[in-house]
Amino acid sequence: LLAERGIEVAIVEEHPEIGHPTCCAGIVGAAGLRELGIKPGKWVLNQLTGARFYPPSGEPIALSRGRVEALVIDRAQFDRELAIGAARAGATFLMNTRCVGFGRNGSVKLRGPRGKTELKPRLVIGANGAGSLVAQEAGLLKTAKYLRCAQVETIADIDANTAELYFGRGLAPGFFAWVVPAGEVCRVGLGVSEGILLKRLQNFIKKHPIASEKIRSARILHLSTGLIPQPLTREIYADNLMLVGDAAGHVKPLTGGGIYLGLSCARFAAEVAVRSLEANDTSAKTLREYERLVQKKFGAEFKLGMRGRKLLEKLSDEELSSILKLLDNPEIKALVLEHADFDHHARLMGALVKKGPSLLKAIGMRKFLKYLRYFA
């Protein structure tokens, strides 16, 4: 976006190839991509028309509106196409080059094929993931929080167009496990807020009473681990510096999805960056506008989503099962199918809260009040 506006851009990537290594289930909402003006390309591996939720106990619950809700993408190929777009717009790529330091004066220390070098750009955009080094060095991650995730690509026998989500404190405390059909393979992974990550993934693949029957544990083709940042736990700008994507914690709090959200917020970053560069003022005071625009569009999403996540973290397996079972209640299921939006969960939460009386009837007064506390 910056290069398209005629700004001189250097993209620094520590790996020799764009998009690799990758750690992502690759699910992106079809409507979100349309909003971003990104036309599906050869990176689309599959289309999802529904999801099946597996509570810690009881029967699974399937949700589908019978239409394509999301695409499963080849993330490396997708990133490569974005990079080609940037190159065509005039951006320079410094591949195999690691940013090893960020100075208070906005200088960036690099280590690459030409040895150690230093750049002094007018503005640095930290787009280097959840643990962003520039963000760390600028002191923006002091209160940052994360979930840890691991994922494999393997063969599994599941519906071709349905993502499966598995819940349980013993399985994936604070998050969930997934099996996502991605064309020729399935992506199987989980996130945790505590415990030994890889052991939990191994248990899911080999011992989960339902999932282990479907997943071929001896056919694992790829293993990756990664962090999911928690939104609203970090600053996203400083003098001469803006953060985008995971570096800024721009992910959906309930699912950790950051492709749409990161790209959407990056547009605000580009808009503010262009204006600041044109005005020759990249001070924190001027860049604050970026935060304002992000909060205006996604503030409620972050806040409500985080409250929902906090609630999920506290629920016992029994409570989790009874909440997921609500999706089988005809009135609530109809409401969910009417209001569910792949990228904007706050809309559904708002609709559910408005339907207080039916929720109260389905959950019972004591639990209703207990859960409501998280959203008050």
Closer of 133 and 362 to ligand FAD (Cβ):
133
**To the nearest whole angstrom, how small is the minimum distance from the Cβ of residue 369 to ligand FAD?**
34
Closer of 174 and 328 to ligand FAD (Cβ):
174
Tell me if 149 contacts ligand FAD by CB under 6 A: yes
Look up residue 344 and give its two tokens.
């904007």
Considering only residues 243 to 282 of the shown chain, the ones binding ligand FAD according to CB under 6 A are 245-247, 251, 256-260, 262
Closer of 257 and 305 to ligand FAD (Cβ):
257
Considering only residues 290 to 349 of the shown chain, the ones binding ligand FAD according to CB under 6 A are none
The span from the CA of 326 to the CA of 324, in Å, is 5
Tell me if 121 contacts ligand FAD by CB under 6 A: no
Closer of 128 and 282 to ligand FAD (Cβ):
128
The span from the CA of 306 to the CA of 174, in Å, is 12
Closer of 342 and 371 to ligand FAD (Cβ):
342
Report the Cα–Cα distance between both ends of the chain, in Å, rounded: 39
Closer of 188 and 335 to ligand FAD (Cβ):
188
Binding segment (CB under 6 A) for ligand FAD, from list 26-34, 48-56, 286-294, 359-367: 26-34
How many angstroms from the chain centroid is the CA of residue 273? 23
Closer of 168 and 256 to ligand FAD (Cβ):
256
Tell me if 81 contacts ligand FAD by CB under 6 A: no
Tell me if 127 contacts ligand FAD by CB under 6 A: yes
Binding segment (CB under 6 A) for ligand FAD, from list 242-250, 267-275, 304-312, 323-331: 242-250
Tell me if 154 contacts ligand FAD by CB under 6 A: no
**Cβ neighbours for 91, distance < 8 A, ≥ 6 positions apart:** 2, 3, 9, 10, 11
Single-letter residue type at 156: A
Whether the Cβ atoms of residue 134 and residue 99 lie closer than 8 Å to each other: yes
**To the nearest whole angstrom, how small is the minimum distance from the Cβ of residue 360 to ligand FAD?**
33
List 164's β-bridge partners, or say none.
52, 179
Look up residue 317 and give its two tokens.
């397996």
**Cβ neighbours for 261, distance < 8 A, ≥ 6 positions apart:** 250, 251, 252, 298, 343
How many angstroms from the chain centroid is the CA of residue 33? 14
**What's the chain's Rg over C-alpha atoms?**
21
Closer of 13 and 319 to ligand FAD (Cβ):
13
The span from the CA of 228 to the CA of 324, in Å, is 23
List 216's β-bridge partners, or say none.
155
Tell me if 128 contacts ligand FAD by CB under 6 A: yes
Whether the Cβ atoms of residue 178 and residue 166 lie closer than 8 Å to each other: yes
Name the nearest CA neighbour of 58 among 209, 170, 202, 159.
Answer: 209
Tell me if 126 contacts ligand FAD by CB under 6 A: no
Considering only residues 27 to 66 of the shown chain, the ones binding ligand FAD according to CB under 6 A are 27-28
Positions that interact with ligand FAD (CB under 6 A)? 12-15, 23-28, 98-99, 127-129, 133, 149, 151, 189, 226, 228, 245-247, 251, 256-260, 262
